[in-house]
Structure 1
């Protein structure tokens, strides 16, 4: 695991033309309403499930962060 951490930390990240690091973040829920054996669940806010209503459903929120390149390739 430590070797993987060192490899990832050594990667060059794409930068904008002026040298800035541009990041995009997505937070999504992994819903587990019937996961009674997982007491670590929190509540995830969901939009428009079913009858255009907002509900709190047990699950885990997770995040993905990506470094973006300039232009349309990102």
Structure 2
């Protein structure tokens, strides 16, 4: 993932999706990364489960947290 331009919304990491992200899926591959290292995929509500299931099936998913200041999760 590239660093976004500040005035751009963060978008979902699912292929072809352009929806705003509201979740961070933090993961690591234990064969490649030190235990404390985390990589991050972003997810919209529609892709949170499928991206999480993909990572979880491989044993990579460590945590799912809301993106800070996500308007859909602030209530």
State the TM bucket, normalised to the shorter chain. under 0.3
Q: Which of these two proteins has the greater Rg computed from alpha carbons?
A: 1
Give the TM-score, by structure 1 length: 0.28
Give the TM-score, by structure 2 length: 0.28
Q: Which has the higher strand share?
A: 1
